[in-house]
Structure 1
Amino acid sequence: MKEIWLIDDGEVWDEVKEHVKDAIELGFTGVAVKKEFMELVRKLGNIEVEEAEVFRIRGAEDQERVVELSRTAGRIFLSFDNWKIIPLENLIAMKGSAKIIPIVSDAEEARVVLTTLERGADGIAITPRSRDEMRSFRDVVEETESVRLVKGRVVEIRKLGMGDRVCVDTITMMTPGEGMLVGNTAEFMFLVASESEESEYVASRPFRVNAGSVNAYIKVGERTRYLAELRAGDEVEIVRHDGRTRRSYVGRVKIEKRPMLLVRARAGDVEGSVILQNAETIKLVGEGGRHISVSELKEGDEILVYIGEKARHFGVAVEESIIEG
């Protein structure tokens, strides 16, 4: 998930405090302040806090130093003299494991930073400004979060026996056409719909995704998690049928034994599967956000899927040969 930080190196705590309070209430990732204010910030709310240190990029030598630093640092805040897109492209392409967070001055610059080389920087940072302006930057971060969904064609539907399935209840209300990306491999994931549609059998539960079997992966930003690992407070990713994503958190997880169903699909030359509860309220998402119940699903039906990196180690993409089925 993309991050948004407030960098406030002000000298007067009462002024800094007001900006920090706005950042907390608007859901910013974190704030960077002077070292002597860090503990005071922690008392205001549960938000990440770092010392306000910004690395200034003035030329190629600075760029090389940041690349080197990115191999050991956790997060690097950047400012650019004579802003140009090429230095940022270079840093995104060459950096190590550190998160690169450039300071931006307006919404358009924020959009460029977050989408450069498609992948974009790991987030943006802003300096103090009005609450409404801070909210507008947060909205830019949310609108640029997206994944590329493609149409997959169902090639097999097969009833299985009993298995353990996972319901993920979030702290966010979802709408029709939204859900979570789940699959038996990280390479091929299905958009499983939220229970946001009414049914003649049960009331809608728009905060819930009946996501699949305990072994399945769920996509969370650039990582994957096993459904069985999720716990209250864990971050999850809500995905719309148009690929836009937003962040939420688990309220609770329910694992229960239910009859299960295998769904296998193909997109181009890539094939994948997911195991879902066999019930009419469990739905996949089709083009335009249409929900398709697994009880009505047929071979040849088209559903929305995500094609990702193949190899994973503890949920992180790695360069290695791997075969999953």
Structure 2
Amino acid sequence: MKFAWIDLRTVPEANRTAVIDAAVHSKIAGVVANDPALLDDLPPTITRVLFADVPVDSPHLVIEALHEQDRLDRLSTAFVQVSDDRTLKLACAAAERLDHTVVAFTDPTKIPLEIVIAAAHGAPGKLVTVVADLVEAAIVLEVLEHGSDGVLMAPKDASDVFKLARLLETTSPPLTLTTLTVEAVTHNGLGDRVCVDTASHFREDEGILVGSFSSGFVLCCSETHPLPYMPTRPFRVNAGALHSYVLGPANRTNYLSELRSGSKVLAVDAAGHTRELTVGRAKLESRPMLTITARSPENVEVSLMVQDDWHVRVLGPGGKVRNVTELQPGDELLGYLAPEQRHVGLPIGEFCKES
């Protein structure tokens, strides 16, 4: 689980109490200071981190600046300023061996951080990266897909602390998928469909959840699997008609017509695991359309309108790939039932009937 420490050393004294209160309230993992008195009254749920040149007799986690590799055996936690090849190697050695390694990078490139993350992979300790702001924190937490275990940020005020806490909560929880049984496939004639091209590769059992009704979605397959007459496009989902809902992060939906470069969608696999993906392009074109009507074991009707072509695919139980033009009544698909209705994409407990 990712975590954050906040650094009090540069927080203005006028804001310090509010920042500490925000850290406690939002369950920030640790507070860093160079004055032990600022840490003494923190609750036991927060790690008290003291920056010091030499160890002190206190219950604080003491971080010492590490300058030479021969000091590693005398430390459990260290701070390394990475500015060249020597200090990069020092940071890697520390991350491999110490309980906590805090690293700061002089240059804006993330290549040195990638090298430290790779060196520390599988090590029992935790890597904490110093970040300048919330934007950099979001990047650092995802570098090499693994990211730094934690970030250390000096907030300007209490609002920065709350925003940092929310950033750590953006891990994508799993969804409970259901098995839908196809009832009918209807050919509709011409309509506008949207292909969603993401900035990431889909895995073979992944797609996105799309539906005509906000109450239910079908797992639409990516073009990861080979197709005749055309190359695979493992970043693409031929997703459905422009009016359709697509499920995104934080249980929010968008119409397919609303997606733009930079929008977010959820990749969902056959077991319900999810991850947030960035849309690189949404491509709308007129094509013949068909409607799949299916029903859940709870008797909820789920509808999906997609391009009427054999190469458009949806996923069934176990990640089985199904061509939409070959679907028959009784076939099984993977889907998701939303527990709430929607208003401007947000879940809300109100009466709503869609047909």
TM interval, short-chain normalised: 0.5 to 0.7
* Alignment match, 2:321: 291
* Alignment match, 1:165: 193
* Alignment match, 1:273: 303
* Alignment match, 1:41: none
Question: After TM superposition, which residue ranges in structure 1, 4 or more long, deviate above 4 angstroms?
Answer: 12-18, 28-32
1:207 paired residue among 215, 231, 235? 235
* Alignment match, 1:231: 260
* Alignment match, 1:105: none
* Alignment match, 1:249: 278
Q: Distance in 1 between matches of 2:265 and 2:167?
A: 22
Shift of 1:199: 1.0
The answer as to 2:130 corresponding to 1:20 is yes
Q: Distance in 1 between matches of 2:141 and 2:154?
A: 21
1:33 paired residue among 142, 150, 153? 153
State whether residues 10 and 154 of structure 2, in contact with CA within 8 Å, keep that contact through their aligned partners in structure 1. no
Corresponding letter in the other structure for 2:140 = E
When structure 1 is superposed on structure 2, of 152-161 and 16-25 the one drifting more is 16-25
Deviation per CA, 1:178-232: give whole Å up to 9, x if none: 1000001121100000011111121110100000000000000210000000000
State whether residues 7 and 155 of structure 2, in contact with CA within 8 Å, keep that contact through their aligned partners in structure 1. no
TM-score by length of 1: 0.64
* Alignment match, 2:220: 192
Q: Distance in 2 between matches of 1:50 and 1:209?
A: 38
The answer as to 2:160 corresponding to 1:51 is yes
Flag structure 1 segments of 5+ consecutive residues without an equivalent: 39-48, 54-74, 78-98, 102-121, 124-140
Shift of 1:312: 0.7
* Alignment match, 2:49: none
Q: Distance in 1 between matches of 2:202 and 2:8?
A: 39
Q: Distance in 2 between matches of 1:299 and 1:280?
A: 17
Q: Distance in 1 between matches of 2:3 and 2:203?
A: 28
Flag structure 2 segments of 5+ consecutive residues without an equivalent: 12-80, 82-101, 106-128
Please list, as runs of the form range in 1=range in 2, the aligned pairs for 1:178-189 lying within 5 A after superposition: 178-189=206-217
* Alignment match, 1:323: 353
Change (3 A) 1:246 1:198: same
Corresponding letter in the other structure for 1:215 = H
Corresponding letter in the other structure for 2:196 = V
Shift of 1:76: 8.5
Q: Distance in 2 between matches of 1:200 and 1:193?
A: 16
Aligned residue pair count = 231
Change (3 A) 1:8 1:152: same
1:9 paired residue among 2, 7, 10? 7
Change (3 A) 1:292 1:7: same
Query: Secondary structure at 2:210's aligned position in 1?
Result: strand
1:155 paired residue among 169, 174, 183? 183
TM-score by length of 2: 0.59
* Alignment match, 1:130: none
Query: Secondary structure at 1:20's aligned position in 2?
Result: strand
Superposed CA RMSD: 2.9
Corresponding letter in the other structure for 2:236 = R
* Alignment match, 1:80: none
Deviation per CA, 1:44-64: give whole Å up to 9, x if none: xxxxx95347xxxxxxxxxxx
Deviation per CA, 1:77-107: give whole Å up to 9, x if none: 5xxxxxxxxxxxxxxxxxxxxx596xxxxxx
State whether residues 220 and 315 of structure 2, in contact with CA within 8 Å, keep that contact through their aligned partners in structure 1. yes
